[in-house]
Amino acid sequence: MTIDKDVSFDADADRAAPDVSFGELLALMPDSVRDAFPPYRWQLEKLWELDLKVEPVEVADLIWMFDLPLWQLDGERFKVTPNQVAATPMNFRAPYQRVMDADLERPINLVAYRGRLVVLDGVHRLLKAHFLRRRWIEATIATATQLQSCAP
């Protein structure tokens, strides 16, 4: 399914939430999201700079994250789950378009935390891989210690 090219929408609408401090972000997070992620601050650019091996990870091991309200809606954080986008893409045009535009050549970034793998960067890519019924997705896996080294 693709979005009709004749219908206009703001492709960045799901990224319009105002900047907040890390403490404010934690306060906004639903418990389910807060419990899923390591509780420390890190920078994505520093995560990308880590010398981590790219390896295949089973998509099925990560789809538990699709139940978490990870995405924004109308400038409000933590309002939409990937499963909601998958079930009714026309109700969530901007995040759906980001999923469909996602580059599966780029590995997703994971951290091992509390006995499972958590997606730090790449949920849109993961959902696209799931849509395409891929069994594996390329990923890097950081340890909690490596993630802590990515502090600002």
**What is the tens place of the pLDDT at every residue in 112-129?**
999 999 999 999 999 999
Report, as an integer, the average pLDDT of 11-17: 50
Strand spans (E) along the chain: 54-58, 71-73, 76-80, 108-113, 116-121, 136-142
**What is the tens place of the pLDDT at every residue in 22-47?**
888 889 999 999 999 999 899 999 99
| CB 98, CB 128: distance < 8 Å | no
- Identify which has the larger pLDDT, 131 or 9: 131
Q: Is 2 exposed, middle or buried (0-12, 13-18, 19+ CB in 10 A)?
A: exposed
pLDDT of residue 17: 64
Report, as an integer, the average pLDDT of 74-86: 95
Report, as an integer, the average pLDDT of 67-93: 96
